[in-house]
Protein backbone atom coordinates (compact mmCIF):
# COMPACT_ATOMS: atom_id res chain seq x y z
CA UNK A 1 0.00 0.00 0.00
CA UNK A 2 2.94 2.33 0.64
CA UNK A 3 4.01 1.90 -2.99
CA UNK A 4 0.52 2.92 -4.11
CA UNK A 5 0.64 6.02 -1.90
CA UNK A 6 4.02 6.95 -3.37
CA UNK A 7 2.69 6.56 -6.93
CA UNK A 8 -0.33 8.77 -6.22
CA UNK A 9 1.81 11.43 -4.52
CA UNK A 10 4.28 11.44 -7.41
CA UNK A 11 1.42 11.89 -9.89
CA UNK A 12 -0.05 14.75 -7.85
CA UNK A 13 3.36 16.44 -7.66
CA UNK A 14 3.73 16.12 -11.44
CA UNK A 15 0.21 17.40 -12.02
CA UNK A 16 0.91 20.53 -9.96
CA UNK A 17 3.47 21.66 -12.54
CA UNK A 18 1.12 21.40 -15.53
CA UNK A 19 -0.81 24.34 -17.07
CA UNK A 20 -4.30 24.90 -15.64
CA UNK A 21 -6.16 23.41 -18.62
CA UNK A 22 -4.02 20.27 -18.54
CA UNK A 23 -4.40 19.98 -14.75
CA UNK A 24 -8.18 20.14 -15.05
CA UNK A 25 -8.37 17.54 -17.83
CA UNK A 26 -5.96 15.11 -16.20
CA UNK A 27 -7.53 15.51 -12.75
CA UNK A 28 -10.98 14.69 -14.16
CA UNK A 29 -9.58 11.63 -15.93
CA UNK A 30 -7.71 10.48 -12.81
CA UNK A 31 -10.76 10.93 -10.57
CA UNK A 32 -12.82 8.77 -12.90
CA UNK A 33 -10.18 6.07 -12.83
CA UNK A 34 -9.77 6.29 -9.06
CA UNK A 35 -13.54 5.96 -8.63
CA UNK A 36 -13.41 2.71 -10.59
CA UNK A 37 -10.73 1.49 -8.17
CA UNK A 38 -12.79 2.58 -5.15
CA UNK A 39 -15.79 0.68 -6.50
CA UNK A 40 -13.71 -2.41 -7.15
CA UNK A 41 -12.11 -2.34 -3.68
CA UNK A 42 -15.61 -2.00 -2.22
CA UNK A 43 -16.78 -4.99 -4.25
CA UNK A 44 -13.79 -7.09 -3.13
CA UNK A 45 -14.42 -6.08 0.50
CA UNK A 46 -18.09 -7.03 0.34
CA UNK A 47 -17.26 -10.36 -1.27
CA UNK A 48 -14.53 -11.16 1.29
CA UNK A 49 -16.79 -10.33 4.24
CA UNK A 50 -19.53 -12.48 2.75
CA UNK A 51 -17.11 -15.38 2.38
CA UNK A 52 -16.04 -15.04 6.02
CA UNK A 53 -19.68 -15.11 7.13
CA UNK A 54 -20.17 -18.17 4.93
CA UNK A 55 -17.26 -19.86 6.71
CA UNK A 56 -19.06 -19.43 10.01
CA UNK A 57 -17.65 -16.17 11.34
CA UNK A 58 -20.12 -13.97 13.22
CA UNK A 59 -20.39 -10.19 12.73
CA UNK A 60 -19.01 -9.73 16.25
CA UNK A 61 -15.98 -11.86 15.40
CA UNK A 62 -15.45 -9.89 12.21
CA UNK A 63 -15.65 -6.62 14.14
CA UNK A 64 -12.92 -7.80 16.49
CA UNK A 65 -10.82 -9.19 13.64
CA UNK A 66 -11.00 -5.99 11.59
CA UNK A 67 -10.85 -3.50 14.45
CA UNK A 68 -14.24 -1.89 13.86
CA UNK A 69 -17.68 -1.78 15.44
CA UNK A 70 -20.36 -4.41 14.91
CA UNK A 71 -22.65 -1.81 13.33
CA UNK A 72 -19.92 -0.90 10.83
CA UNK A 73 -19.52 -4.55 9.88
CA UNK A 74 -23.28 -4.84 9.33
CA UNK A 75 -23.10 -1.78 7.09
CA UNK A 76 -20.18 -3.08 5.04
CA UNK A 77 -21.86 -6.45 4.45
CA UNK A 78 -24.41 -4.73 2.22
CA UNK A 79 -22.49 -1.70 0.91
CA UNK A 80 -20.55 -1.48 -2.31
CA UNK A 81 -21.16 -3.27 -5.61
CA UNK A 82 -22.37 -6.86 -5.52
CA UNK A 83 -19.54 -9.38 -6.02
CA UNK A 84 -20.98 -10.76 -9.28
CA UNK A 85 -20.49 -7.39 -10.95
CA UNK A 86 -16.95 -8.60 -11.70
CA UNK A 87 -18.41 -11.06 -14.22
CA UNK A 88 -18.72 -8.09 -16.59
CA UNK A 89 -15.82 -5.83 -15.59
CA UNK A 90 -14.67 -3.14 -13.19
CA UNK A 91 -15.84 -0.03 -15.03
CA UNK A 92 -17.79 1.28 -18.00
CA UNK A 93 -18.17 -1.47 -20.61
CA UNK A 94 -17.35 -1.22 -24.29
CA UNK A 95 -19.36 -3.78 -26.27
CA UNK A 96 -17.84 -4.49 -29.69
CA UNK A 97 -20.38 -5.99 -32.11
CA UNK A 98 -19.42 -7.52 -35.43
CA UNK A 99 -21.38 -6.24 -38.41
CA UNK A 100 -22.08 -7.82 -41.77
CA UNK A 101 -21.80 -5.99 -45.06
CA UNK A 102 -24.96 -5.20 -46.98
CA UNK A 103 -25.39 -3.12 -50.09
CA UNK A 104 -27.74 -0.17 -50.41
CA UNK A 105 -28.44 2.30 -53.20
CA UNK A 106 -25.84 5.04 -53.41
CA UNK A 107 -26.46 8.51 -54.74
CA UNK A 108 -29.65 9.43 -56.58
CA UNK A 109 -31.23 8.31 -59.80
CA UNK A 110 -28.73 5.57 -60.63
CA UNK A 111 -27.94 1.89 -60.12
CA UNK A 112 -24.86 2.54 -57.99
CA UNK A 113 -24.68 0.70 -54.68
CA UNK A 114 -22.35 1.07 -51.73
CA UNK A 115 -21.56 -1.34 -48.88
CA UNK A 116 -22.89 -0.64 -45.40
CA UNK A 117 -22.00 -2.27 -42.06
CA UNK A 118 -25.22 -3.64 -40.57
CA UNK A 119 -25.90 -5.15 -37.14
CA UNK A 120 -28.38 -7.98 -36.85
CA UNK A 121 -31.54 -7.24 -34.90
CA UNK A 122 -30.69 -10.01 -32.45
CA UNK A 123 -27.13 -8.77 -31.82
CA UNK A 124 -28.46 -5.32 -31.02
CA UNK A 125 -31.13 -6.82 -28.75
CA UNK A 126 -28.40 -8.84 -27.01
CA UNK A 127 -26.49 -5.61 -26.36
CA UNK A 128 -29.52 -3.89 -24.85
CA UNK A 129 -30.20 -6.89 -22.61
CA UNK A 130 -26.56 -6.92 -21.50
CA UNK A 131 -26.61 -3.15 -20.91
CA UNK A 132 -29.72 -3.45 -18.75
CA UNK A 133 -28.13 -6.12 -16.56
CA UNK A 134 -24.82 -4.26 -16.32
CA UNK A 135 -26.76 -1.14 -15.36
CA UNK A 136 -28.27 -3.03 -12.43
CA UNK A 137 -24.68 -3.39 -11.15
CA UNK A 138 -23.82 0.26 -11.72
CA UNK A 139 -21.93 -0.30 -14.97
CA UNK A 140 -22.63 1.79 -18.06
CA UNK A 141 -22.35 0.09 -21.45
CA UNK A 142 -21.92 1.53 -24.92
CA UNK A 143 -21.61 -0.40 -28.16
CA UNK A 144 -19.17 -0.09 -31.02
CA UNK A 145 -19.88 -1.39 -34.52
CA UNK A 146 -17.02 -3.46 -35.96
CA UNK A 147 -17.39 -3.38 -39.76
CA UNK A 148 -16.01 -6.05 -42.10
CA UNK A 149 -13.43 -7.50 -42.12
CA UNK A 150 -13.90 -7.57 -38.33
CA UNK A 151 -10.65 -5.97 -37.14
CA UNK A 152 -11.67 -5.51 -33.51
CA UNK A 153 -9.20 -4.09 -30.96
CA UNK A 154 -9.13 -6.67 -28.17
CA UNK A 155 -6.47 -5.12 -25.92
CA UNK A 156 -8.86 -2.93 -23.91
CA UNK A 157 -10.15 -3.10 -20.34
CA UNK A 158 -13.81 -3.85 -19.61
CA UNK A 159 -14.41 -5.17 -23.12
CA UNK A 160 -17.31 -7.38 -24.20
CA UNK A 161 -17.32 -8.81 -27.73
CA UNK A 162 -20.44 -10.13 -29.47
CA UNK A 163 -21.03 -12.15 -32.69
CA UNK A 164 -19.45 -15.18 -34.29
CA UNK A 165 -15.99 -15.77 -35.78
CA UNK A 166 -17.64 -15.50 -39.20
CA UNK A 167 -17.77 -11.74 -38.63
CA UNK A 168 -14.82 -11.44 -36.23
CA UNK A 169 -12.07 -13.80 -37.47
CA UNK A 170 -9.55 -12.32 -35.02
CA UNK A 171 -11.70 -13.59 -32.16
CA UNK A 172 -11.72 -16.98 -33.86
CA UNK A 173 -7.94 -17.07 -33.47
CA UNK A 174 -8.18 -16.18 -29.77
CA UNK A 175 -10.78 -18.92 -29.31
CA UNK A 176 -8.05 -21.43 -30.09
CA UNK A 177 -6.73 -20.67 -26.58
CA UNK A 178 -9.85 -22.33 -25.14
CA UNK A 179 -8.81 -25.94 -24.59
CA UNK A 180 -12.37 -27.11 -23.95
CA UNK A 181 -14.90 -25.40 -26.22
CA UNK A 182 -15.02 -23.54 -29.50
CA UNK A 183 -16.48 -23.08 -32.95
CA UNK A 184 -15.84 -25.39 -35.87
CA UNK A 185 -16.74 -25.40 -39.54
CA UNK A 186 -17.44 -28.16 -42.06
CA UNK A 187 -19.19 -28.55 -45.40
CA UNK A 188 -22.47 -28.57 -43.46
CA UNK A 189 -21.77 -25.19 -41.89
CA UNK A 190 -20.70 -23.89 -38.49
CA UNK A 191 -21.06 -25.82 -35.25
CA UNK A 192 -19.97 -25.66 -31.61
CA UNK A 193 -17.74 -28.34 -30.19
CA UNK A 194 -16.71 -29.69 -26.83
CA UNK A 195 -13.05 -30.50 -27.36
CA UNK A 196 -12.97 -32.49 -24.14
CA UNK A 197 -15.72 -34.95 -25.08
CA UNK A 198 -15.60 -34.63 -28.86
CA UNK A 199 -19.28 -33.66 -29.01
CA UNK A 200 -20.45 -31.40 -31.83
CA UNK A 201 -23.56 -29.26 -31.57
CA UNK A 202 -25.15 -28.07 -34.80
CA UNK A 203 -27.85 -25.46 -34.86
CA UNK A 204 -31.43 -26.78 -34.94
CA UNK A 205 -32.21 -23.68 -37.03
CA UNK A 206 -30.48 -25.42 -39.94
CA UNK A 207 -33.22 -28.08 -39.78
CA UNK A 208 -36.03 -25.56 -39.43
CA UNK A 209 -36.39 -25.84 -35.63
CA UNK A 210 -36.73 -22.71 -33.42
CA UNK A 211 -33.62 -23.32 -31.31
CA UNK A 212 -29.93 -22.49 -31.41
CA UNK A 213 -26.67 -22.88 -29.50
CA UNK A 214 -24.18 -20.27 -28.35
CA UNK A 215 -20.77 -19.92 -26.71
CA UNK A 216 -19.86 -17.68 -23.79
CA UNK A 217 -16.56 -17.30 -22.01
CA UNK A 218 -13.80 -15.03 -20.77
CA UNK A 219 -10.88 -15.12 -23.18
CA UNK A 220 -7.27 -13.85 -22.93
CA UNK A 221 -6.33 -10.56 -24.53
CA UNK A 222 -3.63 -10.93 -27.21
CA UNK A 223 -1.31 -8.63 -25.23
CA UNK A 224 -1.51 -10.92 -22.20
CA UNK A 225 -2.63 -8.06 -19.95
CA UNK A 226 -6.13 -9.20 -19.11
CA UNK A 227 -9.22 -10.84 -20.51
CA UNK A 228 -12.46 -9.94 -22.27
CA UNK A 229 -15.97 -11.38 -22.14
CA UNK A 230 -17.13 -12.97 -25.39
CA UNK A 231 -20.37 -14.56 -26.50
CA UNK A 232 -21.91 -15.58 -29.79
CA UNK A 233 -24.41 -18.01 -31.24
CA UNK A 234 -24.07 -20.24 -34.26
CA UNK A 235 -26.77 -17.98 -35.66
CA UNK A 236 -27.94 -14.58 -34.43
CA UNK A 237 -30.72 -16.11 -32.32
CA UNK A 238 -28.09 -18.03 -30.39
CA UNK A 239 -26.32 -14.78 -29.56
CA UNK A 240 -29.52 -13.37 -28.10
CA UNK A 241 -30.11 -16.65 -26.28
CA UNK A 242 -26.73 -16.41 -24.54
CA UNK A 243 -27.52 -12.86 -23.43
CA UNK A 244 -30.85 -14.16 -22.09
CA UNK A 245 -29.07 -16.84 -20.05
CA UNK A 246 -26.43 -14.41 -18.78
CA UNK A 247 -29.10 -11.95 -17.64
CA UNK A 248 -30.91 -14.61 -15.65
CA UNK A 249 -27.90 -16.38 -14.12
CA UNK A 250 -25.30 -13.68 -13.41
CA UNK A 251 -24.85 -14.42 -9.70
CA UNK A 252 -24.94 -18.18 -10.27
CA UNK A 253 -22.28 -18.00 -12.97
CA UNK A 254 -20.04 -15.77 -10.90
CA UNK A 255 -20.16 -18.13 -7.93
CA UNK A 256 -18.67 -20.82 -10.16
CA UNK A 257 -16.13 -18.87 -12.17
CA UNK A 258 -15.20 -15.77 -10.11
CA UNK A 259 -12.61 -13.85 -12.17
CA UNK A 260 -10.99 -16.89 -13.80
CA UNK A 261 -10.97 -17.62 -17.49
CA UNK A 262 -13.97 -19.80 -18.24
CA UNK A 263 -16.37 -20.95 -20.95
CA UNK A 264 -19.58 -22.87 -21.49
CA UNK A 265 -22.27 -23.48 -24.11
CA UNK A 266 -25.91 -22.41 -24.00
CA UNK A 267 -28.99 -23.77 -25.78
CA UNK A 268 -31.97 -21.51 -26.36
CA UNK A 269 -35.44 -21.87 -27.84
CA UNK A 270 -37.46 -19.05 -29.35
CA UNK A 271 -40.87 -18.21 -30.75
CA UNK A 272 -40.54 -18.52 -34.54
CA UNK A 273 -43.09 -15.75 -35.10
CA UNK A 274 -41.98 -13.08 -32.62
CA UNK A 275 -38.29 -14.15 -32.53
CA UNK A 276 -38.37 -13.75 -28.75
CA UNK A 277 -36.26 -16.07 -26.58
CA UNK A 278 -38.45 -18.49 -24.61
CA UNK A 279 -35.89 -20.61 -22.75
CA UNK A 280 -32.13 -20.72 -22.24
CA UNK A 281 -30.06 -23.34 -20.44
CA UNK A 282 -26.55 -24.72 -20.25
CA UNK A 283 -25.63 -27.23 -22.95
CA UNK A 284 -22.15 -28.07 -21.62
CA UNK A 285 -20.21 -28.01 -18.35
CA UNK A 286 -18.74 -24.71 -17.18
CA UNK A 287 -15.01 -25.10 -17.76
CA UNK A 288 -12.55 -22.93 -15.83
CA UNK A 289 -8.80 -22.47 -15.86
CA UNK A 290 -7.06 -24.23 -13.01
Last residue of a domain, which of 14, 46, 81?
A: 81
Split into its structural domains, the chain has a count of 2
Assess whether 136 and 278 both reside in one domain.
Answer: yes
| CATH number, domain containing residue 146 | 3.30.379.10
Lowest-pLDDT range of 61-65, 121-125, 217-221: 61-65
Last residue of a domain, which of 22, 51, 81?
A: 81
Assess whether 249 and 178 both reside in one domain.
Answer: yes
Range of the domain at 231: 87-288
Segments in 162-249 forming alpha helices (H): 169-175, 236-248
Last residue of a domain, which of 32, 58, 81?
A: 81
Give the model's pLDDT for residue 7.
Answer: 80
Does the pLDDT of residue 107 top 80, yes or no?
no
Assess whether 142 and 280 both reside in one domain.
Answer: yes
Lowest-pLDDT range of 22-31, 87-96, 104-113, 230-239: 104-113
Is residue 257 a contact partner of residue 288, using CB atoms and an 8 Å limit?
A: yes
Per DSSP, 167 falls in state: T
Closest CA to 184 of 165, 163, 160: 165
236 pLDDT band, cuts 50/70/90, is very high
Assess whether 102 and 15 both reside in one domain.
Answer: no
**Dihedral sign for Cα atoms in the order 166, 168, 171, 173:** positive
Does the pLDDT of residue 115 top 80, yes or no?
no
Can you name the residues that pair with 213 across neighbouring β-strands? 267
28 pLDDT band, cuts 50/70/90, is confident
Assess whether 200 and 217 both reside in one domain.
Answer: yes
Is residue 168 a contact partner of residue 138, using CB atoms and an 8 Å limit?
A: no
Mean residue pLDDT of the chain comes to: 91
120 pLDDT band, cuts 50/70/90, is very high
What does the pLDDT look like over 154-185, one tens digit per residue? 999 999 999 999 999 999 999 999 999 999 99
Amino acid sequence: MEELKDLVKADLDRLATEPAEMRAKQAIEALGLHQEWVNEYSRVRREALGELIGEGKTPNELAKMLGMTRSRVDQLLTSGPKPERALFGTGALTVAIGAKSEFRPGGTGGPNVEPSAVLSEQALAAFHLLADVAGDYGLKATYQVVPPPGLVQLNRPNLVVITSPRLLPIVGQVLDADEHLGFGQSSKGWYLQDKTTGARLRSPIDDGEPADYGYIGRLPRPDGKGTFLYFAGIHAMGTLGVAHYLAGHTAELYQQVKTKRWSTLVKCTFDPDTRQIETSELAAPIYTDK
